[in-house]
Amino acid sequence: MFKKVLVANRGEIAVRVIRTLHEMGIRAVAIYSEADRAALHVRMADEAYCIGPAPARESYLDIERVLAAAKRSGAEAIHPGYGFLSENPAFAEACERAGIVFIGPPASAMHAMGSKPAARTKMAAAGVPIVPGVESGSIEELAVAAERVGYPVMLKAASGGGGKGMRLVDRPEDLHEAFERAQSEALKAFGDATVYLEKAIVKPRHVEIQVLGDREGNVVHVFERDCSIQRRHQKVVEESPSPVATPELVARMGEVAVRGAKAVGYFSAGTFEFLLGQDGSFYFLEMNTRLQVEHPVTELISGLDLVHEMVRIAYGEPLGYSQSDLHRRGHAIQCRVYAEDPSSNFLPSPGRIETLKLPGGPGIRDDSGAYPGCEISSFYDPLVSKLCVWAPDRPRAIAKMRRALREYVVTGIKTNLSFHQQLFSHPEFIAGHYDTGFIAQYHEELLGYAPLPEAHSDAWAVAIALAASKLEGAPATAQAAQQATDGLSPWVAAHRAERLGR
């Protein structure tokens, strides 16, 4: 087994990976930016190396700096966590050239699944059901495709995710403007303006299948996660089993996911994401060629440690079990606790945590990189922790989560804990009656104010950009606002806008 592994990440996922490495008797190497010098993952690691300034592109996204730290430490392998370089095939290839094992899938599979249009084509050839649409093209070609599949349609960025570059189009006359906006957002977020079109599935659920494969071609699925509670196309709550997916449906989706993984020679942990229609039909959405944020849900119901499995597979060990050996028990739910203000359209709330009291008791798990006195930086993702519960059934899991949320105390920053408390008391959620539009549908009940109209959402983004330009001392023109936010994440831009308003 490996003796030393570098964790090419930060925050809660770095802490989570380090814990498993230590359980396996493996020395853990941390990397950190100047902003993360006092971070928990740095304190927990056996060794730690500063790799650059706070901006991710100068530290966590810099392949050469990450590899230099690995070589300096003598690490035999690198675990990328999620985000940053985790789905970058160039990084996997660079690790191979440097003689360092990449704890993840082969670069060839990442290439095959990294472009959503290409992945759609590949999966269709493997017999995986895909949403009707067209992979790319001019606005004229997309208009023809939209008429063919029928409105409403969804425009999506070919690269990246997180809801960026997505536009729902209900009418033909709105297609051109939506196309231009999707292209602009995709180019800024991912450096690729390619947009493709799909038939919009009305009131779908977002259900994903966890897969594990080894280097010998053995692949299994580890059941499903329902990730339908989303805001702005970003997940905030995940659970397993899905309240609506029957064992027979999960088995069919699992078989499809395994077939898709084998089609690209996949090994390690990965996730197939599907849209589940009201009639029980399901369609391939994308594959995430990495560990998912919501992986603890699967661990709680299966008994597997997915990071442990990834390390074993990377070392060359076989899975050692078949599909019939895997069984689930009970029900697990995860809440993502973010540093944000739900009462202000989820405006980010960076700052120093003054008090942090975590819930406890049987069936409670909190994955976090935070501690009292730590700084929630505006440079990175605002995730504070992942609060997870397990219980024998869904009603008891919901009751346990409500109790855990009442016990959870964070001061010094604003969080979305109040939103989660409202959600887990909502009768429709308790009944399992929800889809990806649930937060928008019950926005006022969950948050206490009416939702921001789509047109006003764009105005909100412009206001943030203008505020950022003023903060930097630039003229408050549209051009200056664009320049001021180039290269900034919405998280950073929103933080700047909030500071301006103080």
pLDDT digits (tens, 9 = 90+) for 246-259: 999 999 999 999 99
Residue 107 and residue 113 in contact, taking contact as beta carbons nearer than 8 Å: no
* Rounded-to-integer distance, Cα 105 and Cα 107, Å: 6
Which option is the CATH number for 106-125+202-329: 3.50.30.50, 3.30.470.20, 3.40.718.10, 3.30.465.10?
A: 3.30.470.20
Mean pLDDT by 10 residues, the chain (502 residues): 98 98 98 97 98 97 98 98 96 98 98 88 92 86 93 88 84 95 88 90 95 98 98 92 97 97 97 94 94 98 98 98 98 97 88 97 97 94 96 98 98 96 98 96 87 54 46 39 41 43 39
Using DSSP's 3-state secondary structure scheme, residue 126 falls into: coil
pTM over 0.75: yes
Q: Do the two domains 132-199 and 339-451 of this chain adopt the same fold?
A: no
| Three-state secondary structure string covering 33-52 | CHHHCCCHHHHHCCEEEECC
| CA angle (173 as vertex; 172, 175 as ends), nearest 5 | 65
The answer for 292, left when phi > 0, alpha when psi is -120 to 50, beta otherwise, is: beta
Residue 101 and residue 95 in contact, taking contact as beta carbons nearer than 8 Å: yes
Residues in the chain: 502
* Token pair recorded at residue 2: 């490996």
Catalytic annotation, residues: 290
pLDDT tens by residue, 421-433: 999 999 999 999 9
User: Domain map of the chain by residue range?
Assistant: 4-103, 106-125+202-329, 132-199, 339-451, 454-501
Q: Does the domain spanning 4-103 belong to CATH 3.40.50.20?
A: yes
Q: Within 10 Å of residue 1's Cβ, how many Cβ atoms?
A: 11
* Rounded-to-integer distance, Cα 74 and Cα 29, Å: 9
Phi, psi of 115, deg, nearest 5: -95, 120
State the architecture of 132-199 in CATH terms.
Answer: 2-Layer Sandwich (3.30)
State the architecture of 339-451 in CATH terms.
Answer: 2-Layer Sandwich (3.30)
pLDDT at 452: 59
